[in-house]
Structure 1
Amino acid sequence: MPVPGLPVSLRREAPDDAPFLAALFASVRGPEFEGNGWPDEVRDAFLADQFRLQVIHYARFYAGAEFLIVERQGVPIGRLYIHRSSGDHRIVDISLLPEARNQGIGGALLDMACAEADRLGRPVSIHVEKNNPAQRLYRRKGFTPAGESGPSWLMIRAPRSEVPAEAPVKAGT
């Protein structure tokens, strides 16, 4: 499914995406461990284990979520995981490779998810680590802190009634 206004598309995650997803996870979380003195192999093993645990957590707590891969010209550049419930639309994860960041892609994905939730009158929520610079994007998109859990904020965007009609964030069948 194309993302309006951007040269990217979404598709459902497949089992053979695992190596890309592990590398994406490492690109997002790896910088937290730079300069801590760990040998590369120790840091890489730790990140691989953390990724494995995240996969288990998402499968357990967000079993009904839509797990989407963001592609540019058929090449994976990120992921968007959305769990829809009658109470809200939870952005479980939105991540892009470093070379795909700061190009409007994340904002466009958020806009799509929010437009879908708005049409249903539902808020959108996301957990964001307190030191994550993406908080600035979420705040620009209307998300506000609504609570905290350890190192993360729960941020919520209330539904809006006046939004342009767009297709829901769903991958092609």
Structure 2
Amino acid sequence: MRYTIREMSPAEYPLLEDFLYEAIYLPEGTAPPPRSILNEESLRVYIREFGSRPGDVCLTAEAGGQAVGAVWARIMDDYGHVDDETPSLAISLYPACRGRGIGTDLLERMLARLRQDGYKQVSLSVQKANRAASLYRRMGFEIFRGTEEEWIMLRRL
């Protein structure tokens, strides 16, 4: 699959709702939740008024003229919150585009962008059972703290 990675334009920010929904981890055999789950405050924080805060940045992978994945960062009090100086990441791809290296490319580009923007570190939250956790470890993220089900991971930049 041929794709390009570019900064998402503000006109495309409404797509973040779709990508946020795709970012919800579902163990195998689990039915997807209703889209109304995106109305919960714990999830709205990732996308509400995206682009209005200093440091909000989003990159998208585009294939065939369509956005097929996104990675975005903002300083927020989310599941992956470490402190008020560390942006948290969210990343997702449409299912048909997973397993092709697109997520790795998106993540590499975002880490470079955040470093360029002067951030010292970035965090994320991931369910321990999510296979993406191994990608994050390969990309240099380390476990910062955890619960029974998830880790908050941190990557120095």
Fold shared by both chains (TM-score > 0.5): yes
Counterparts of 1:60-139 in structure 2 under 5 Å? 64=53, 65-83=56-74, 87-91=85-89, 93-119=90-116, 120=118, 122-139=120-137
Point out the more displaced range, 123-132 or 26-35: 26-35
Could you tell me the TM-score, scaled by structure 1's length? 0.64
Equivalent residue pairs, number: 143
Counting aligned pairs with the same residue, the percent is 23
**Two-structure CA RMSD over aligned residues (Å):** 3.4
In structure 2, relative to structure 1, the CA distance for the partners of 1:30 and 1:109 (3 Å cut) is: closer
Q: In the alignment, is the contact (CA less than 8 A) between 1:124 and 1:158 conserved in 2? A: yes
| Correspondent of 1:9 among 2, 5, 18 | 5
Q: In the alignment, is the contact (CA less than 8 A) between 1:70 and 1:77 conserved in 2? A: yes
Structure of greater Rg: 1
- Structure holding more helix per residue: 1
In structure 2, relative to structure 1, the CA distance for the partners of 1:57 and 1:95 (3 Å cut) is: same
Point out the more displaced range, 27-36 or 93-102: 27-36
Q: In the alignment, is the contact (CA less than 8 A) between 2:57 and 2:72 conserved in 1? A: yes
| Correspondent of 1:156 among 139, 154, 157 | 154
1:16 deviates by: 8.4
The amino acid that maps onto 2:29 is: E
